[in-house]
Chains A and B, each alone.
Chain A
Amino acid sequence: MSFLTSSNHPTVAEGDTVMIYIDYSTILAAQIDLSAKQSVIHTKKGPVSLKNLIGHRYGTKLTCKSGYVQILQPTPELWTKTLPFRTQILYLPDISMIVMHLDLKPGSLVGESGTGSGSLSHAIARTVAPSGHLYTFDYHDVRVQQARKEVVQHGLEDIITVQLADVYENGYGTLENHLDAVMLDLPMPWLAIPHAKKALKKGGSRVGSFSPCIEQVQRTCEELKKHGFSDLVTLECLMRPLEVKVMNMNSWQPPEVRAAGVDGDRRPKTPFSQISFSTAIIPKEVPGHSGFLTFASLF
């Protein structure tokens, strides 16, 4: 019930989605639902009883059998990290660029296809709420059901409408000249472009498309131009985490420095002394590619 800050309350309540921080690499999402059968989550810090979270402040530490866990307010970013996967999903850097490049803000009316696992949908909903709306479409029945359930659990039912439809065939339902932006994350985005054009307002609305392969981008761009979209840009955005560490290196001392000794009294036994420094290390493996983002305007 608490994805939007405006409906946040400081303590955990029935109906909330909570984020349980276990450690640096593990965060779990849980629904506080007293009627549900499964009310205990087993973590490496020990079992956590969801019922007992009620009434505790968000941000608080809770002791478990072997250590403690921390309870956090849900955010779209944490949801992306914890959601049950149904499809490939979009992650923070691409999601952020999409929200920015589609010019989204409170009040925007947005179309999305496909819904997939709803990773992007949550970030869009957060930004367009409370007066905007997201119409999201997927042709996969089970994914649509699941997304609808989550929308209600997360208190976003006034912001998100999930619809079952094949957008290649049927486009964006009855939406015509209505949307400020449309986002495509589909295997063949070019097939959705004529439909997106119909659903978009004229006079500066935005369209975006995410595709892993350059051949898809090529076709998408051709189709966008063919349908009169302008100001096309294609870009790739990557984020790499840096690891902050104190490192040591041996420093070789030239003979004259050694001869002088430390404070003039004792000569060091080896020609080496240690220098330590704080640094931000680039991990050995970093994300190299997620997909290409293409954006265009419709005037």
Chain B
Amino acid sequence: MEYEPVIGLEVHVQLKTKTKAFCGCANEFGSKENSNICPVCLGLPGSLPVLNSQVLVSAAKVALALNGTIRNFIKFDRKNYFYPDLPKNFQISQFDMPLSEHGYMDIKVDGQAKRIAIKRVHLEEDAGKLIHPEGTACSLVDFNRAGTPLLEIVSEPDLHSPEDAYVYLSDLKLALQYIGVSDCDMEKGSLRCDANISVRPVGQIKLGTKAELKNMNSFKAVRTALEFEFKRQVKSLEAGERIVQETRLWDEKKEATFSMRSKEEAHDYRYFPEPDLPPFTFTDADIKGIRKSLPELPKERLGRFVASFGFGEKDAAVLISDKELADFFEACLKIYNEPKKIANWLIGPVLSHLKSNLSFEALHLSPENLTKIISLVEDGTVSNLAGKSILAEVVETGKPPDTIVREKNLGQVSDVDELKKIIEEVAAVNMRSVDDYAAGKENALMFLVGQVMRKSGGKANPKIARDLLAERLKKT
């Protein structure tokens, strides 16, 4: 029997605001432990939360970008449970009236378009951070993260392969980065993803029993964990076993999921309206205003790049796949209006430098530098090859391209007399190739051009050298 996986993803995104959701403590990653805390985020008696207006705006932007409806009346609820990272013993969240519902995201997997429904987007606060020092009987608690704003984005079980999940996550992250509301850095925990997965025979409508997967630390880990879990569940079913509804942890090293096997008392969160926060309202005009404030989203930018610059969809997709890269491209364009040439340089050599060091700033690369290099190549001052080594040097040292050309003496030799001299020398020691060419062997010309390039230390202008050589060989 053939089985298919049915996958739903629950994504938590930290909103990049200056302050926490309900108090004025800094919302900052990497501060010294317990330095951004106050009576509100510690849940001390008598303190009252007040909502950060920016949190609601950022959340609404995301909801609208994901094509969701926005509720006109918003309230918060308490989710009650005990855990050492939760100082108030409840989390401020949203239960029966989430900020947004009925959203969707269109993705393309292997050329096939799919619409993934997004069930809900709601706001809540994050918990603190627990550290478990090895070999001790204690855990350490840092409340810097407690009370920072989190957005929970829950998809419908519309994903039907681990690859669907991977593409959905990548596109979601990109959209969030374009909106500018989150870093979406899984390593820093600013984006976290849990996955629900069940399997069913292809063609069956009824859903199977699902397992919840946790502890994936990258999008690739999500994909691999889902691949593993799909196989595990299919194997179980084929062996005549039943799937148990449970939470399973992904073990990156063992590349397997393991049942948490905790007592797993049924959760009873006793949600009730948060009495310390008043309700909030959005007028239709508010929503319109927020929609208007949305920046160009990745899909729109892709469309524009294809339409305005005549790029293939594949190249355009590479350019928009990182907001910084796309912004850099457009900044270059303002200085040097050659979209295709800039795109080629970015997608080729620049991207290969970026791979190891993912920011333009770290690469010392500015739009001015890059367009300068491209124009040096285009006007024949340096060869294409030299252009690439200038780029490497800029990345290495941050020196201006002009300086590098001078210092390394990379200027291309286009001077006819100088080239003729080199050609004579090359012809003298390669008589056979000269004869071969005379005998009609076209290949010999390319060989001789190669020799000229070599003799000139790669600096001969290849086009002029070729023309001069062809002329010189005709004479013999």
Chain A partners chain B: no
Interface residues of A (CB under 8 A from B): none
Residues of B at the A interface (CB closer than 8 Å) are none
